[in-house]
Structure 1
Amino acid sequence: MLFHSPFDRHSTASEVIDGVDLTGKRAVITGAGAGLGTETARALAAAGAEVTLAVRRPDAGAEIAAELRTKTGNPAIHVASLDVADLASITAFTSAWTGPLHVLVNNAGIMALPELERGIGGHEQHFATNYLGHFALTLGLHRALADAAGARVVTVSSSGHLFAPVTFDDLDFRFRPYDPLTAYAQSKTAEVLLAVEADRRWSAEGIRANALHPGAIATNLQRHTGGLRTPEPYRKTVEQGAATSVFLAASPLVEAIGGRYFEDVNESPVVSSRPAGFGVPGVAPYALDPANAERLWEVALSTVR
C-alpha cells in the first residue's frame, strides 16, 4: 500500500516540518550552497537541528551559513568542504566526521553535461558524481548513522529516471553513443536504487533510506538544458521543491518507512511505460527492483574501496 501524507505538491518545506523539534539532531546536506540544498538546510535548522552544509566552495558556503543563522536564529550551522565528484574529498569528509549523524541528505548533482566526461573510477561523470559520490559518502558515514539510533538517508533523484534504467553492460557509454539526458537519467535511477539497497542492508540498525523527485525548480542544475522543459503544472518554487526532502528527513510520519520513492510529499505509484514528456509522476519498476539495487551496490563497492 502506498504511503499517503496530509501534504501535496503545493506544500512547502516549512509546512511539512511545522511542529517538529529537531533539537539534538545532526544533519549533513550535500550541495547546500544554493537552491534546494539551502532551503532544506534552512528548514532543518529552523526546527532546531545542527546542520552541516557540505559544499564544494566553503567560502561561498560560509556566506550562506551566516544568512541561515540570522534567518533561523540557530547558531549551529556549520560549513565543510565536500566535492562528491572527488573520492579523496569524500574520504577526507567522512574521516573527519565524529559523533552520530541523524540525517544525511544527498542533494548535490549534475545534469546533462553536453560532452562525455569521466569521473570517479573512470566512470561516466553523471554516474560517478550523482551516484558513486553519494554512495561513497553514505557508506563512509554508515557508522555515524548507525550510532544515531534512528537515522534517515534522503537521496534527491528525479522524474528523469523514467527515461533510462541502469544499463549494467555499458554503464559508461563506451559502446553506445553518449546522450546527456540518458546519462543523467541512468544516474537518477541509480540514486533510487541506492535508497532501496541501503534500506535493505541497514534498516535493522535504525537507518531508513528513501529517494525522491523534488519537482521542476528553476535552479543551476538546468544550466545545460536550455531552461526547464517541464510543463507548467509540474513546476514548483524552491520552498515547494524542498518539501519532500525535508519531510523524509524529519517527519515522524515516515520514521518507519524506507526503500521507497516519493514526490509531492507522497509515495509515488509504479508506472509501466516511459512518459511522453518531462515531469510526469511515477516511479519505474526497474528503479525499485531489489536485484538491480544489490547488483549496483556491488559495482559501487568495487569502485570506491
Structure 2
Amino acid sequence: MSVSETSHPFGANTTASEIIDGVDLHGRRAVVTGAGSGIGVETARALATAGADVTLAVRSADAGARVVARLEAQLPSGSGKLNVKRLDLADRSTVTAFVADWSGPLHILVNNAGVMALPELTRTPDGRETQFGVNHLGHFALTVGLRPALAAAEGARIVSVASIGHLFSPVVFDDLDYRFRPYDPWTSYGQSKTANVLFAVGAAERWADDGITANALMPGNIADTSLARHMDPGQLAGFIDATGLALPPGKTVEQGAATSVLLAASPTVEGVTGRYFEDCAPSRTVTERADAVAGVASYALDRANAQRLWAVSEALVR
C-alpha cells in the first residue's frame, strides 16, 4: 500500500497528542525502548492515553519506575497500564531475558532507544562498535526474538526511530566495527541509523505474511533529549562548521514523538510498510547529501543492502 503526503492532516508541528486523538488502543500491548526520557516517554504517554498497555523497556528499572509514577499521575481515566522491564541493548543477556519473559501477543514495538556521537571508540561486551551494537544490533536481536509475539498480534507494527544522521554514512559492511579505518563519531552514528532504516525495509519484506508492518522515521531536531548525553558541548557545532550541514528546524518533545506515534497507532498509515517518514509524512528519496536537511538516502532503502545487513546481523547476534 502507498501513502501520499496529502493523505492526512498531520505535519511538522503536529504533536503526539494530536496524532492519538480519537484512536482506540484498548486491548493492545506495546513496548517502547528507551522510554526513560525524551520522545520515548512522550511516545509511551500517547499510546497509554489511547488505552494501550505499555511496557517501558529501559536500562534503569528505578528510573523507569519514576517515569511510570509521573505518567500515572497525569494520565486520564481509561488509559492503559504502564509497566517497566529492564533492557540494556548493549548487553545481549538482558535482550535474551526480555524476550524470554514476554508472553502473549505484541501489537506495537517502538525501537526508540539509542546513543549518538560517542566521542571515543568503545565496544559492547561482545566486541561490536557501540553505536552500531546498541542502535542496530540490540534492536535487531530484540525484534527477531519477539517475532512470534508480533505475529500473534495479527497486524503488529514495528517502528524504528532512525535519524537524518543516516545521511552521514551508509553501512560499511567491510568494517562495521572500525577495526581498519579511523573512528569517527558521526559516520559511526550515521551507519547505525542507516541500519535502522534498512532493518525496517528487511522486516517489511520478510514478515509481511505474518501481518507485520515495519517503518522507520526521523523524529526531528529535538533539543530536550538525552540522546546527546555523551557529546562534548562543542562537538556538534564543530561538525556543522566542518561539513556545512544545516539542521532542520527545532521541535519540542511532543512534536518529536508525533511521527513515532503516527506509525505505531494511526489508522491513516494502516498497511503501509517498508517506508521512511519525517514530519508525519513519507520522505522523498535523495541521491546525494549536499545540503540536504530532509529526505532518505537511496542506499538506506536498497533491498540488496537490507538483505545483506539482515544476513550479517543474524550472524553477529547468533
TM-score > 0.5, shorter chain as reference: yes
Does the CA-based 8 Å contact 1:52-1:77 persist in structure 2? yes
Q: Mean Cα displacement is larger for which, 22-31 or 226-235?
A: 226-235
Deviation by residue 1:68-99 (Cα, 9 ceiling, x = unmatched): 11211336100111111110000000000000
Identify which of 7, 13, 16 aligns with 2:10.
7
Question: Helix, strand or coil: the match of 2:308?
Answer: helix
Paired position in structure 2 for 1:95 = 100
Paired position in structure 1 for 2:242 = none
Does the CA-based 8 Å contact 2:215-2:275 persist in structure 1? yes
Does the CA-based 8 Å contact 1:120-1:129 persist in structure 2? no
- Distance in structure 1 (CA, Å) of the matches to 2:112 and 2:208: 21
% identical equivalent positions: 61
Matches within 5 A, 1:260-271: 260-271=275-286
- Distance in structure 2 (CA, Å) of the matches to 1:148 and 1:30: 19
- Distance in structure 2 (CA, Å) of the matches to 1:75 and 1:276: 43
Does the CA-based 8 Å contact 1:261-1:283 persist in structure 2? yes
Does the CA-based 8 Å contact 1:2-1:268 persist in structure 2? no
Gaps of at least 5 residues in structure 1 are: none
Deviation by residue 1:138-186 (Cα, 9 ceiling, x = unmatched): 0010000000011000010000001100011111111111000010000
Deviation at 1:121, TM superposition (A): 3.5
> Structure 1 173/79 Cα, relative in aligned 2: closer, same or farther at 3 Å?
same
Identify which of 196, 211, 220 aligns with 2:216.
211
1:237 aligns with 2:247: no
Deviation by residue 1:107-127 (Cα, 9 ceiling, x = unmatched): 000001111011164121110
> Structure 1 177/241 Cα, relative in aligned 2: closer, same or farther at 3 Å?
same
1:58 aligns with 2:61: yes
Letter in 2 for 1:291: A
Paired position in structure 1 for 2:264 = 249
Q: Mean Cα displacement is larger for which, 246-255 or 119-128?
A: 119-128
> Structure 1 165/24 Cα, relative in aligned 2: closer, same or farther at 3 Å?
same
- Distance in structure 1 (CA, Å) of the matches to 2:62 and 2:228: 23
Alignment length, in residue pairs? 303
> Structure 1 33/183 Cα, relative in aligned 2: closer, same or farther at 3 Å?
same
Paired position in structure 2 for 1:68 = 71
Question: Helix, strand or coil: the match of 2:227?
Answer: helix
Measured on the aligned residues, the alpha-carbon RMSD in Å equals 1.5
Identify which of 76, 81, 85 aligns with 1:80.
85
1:282 aligns with 2:287: no
Letter in 2 for 1:59: D
Letter in 1 for 2:102: W
Q: Mean Cα displacement is larger for which, 104-113 or 266-275?
A: 266-275
Deviation by residue 1:1-59 (Cα, 9 ceiling, x = unmatched): 65323210000000111110000000000000000000000000000000000011111
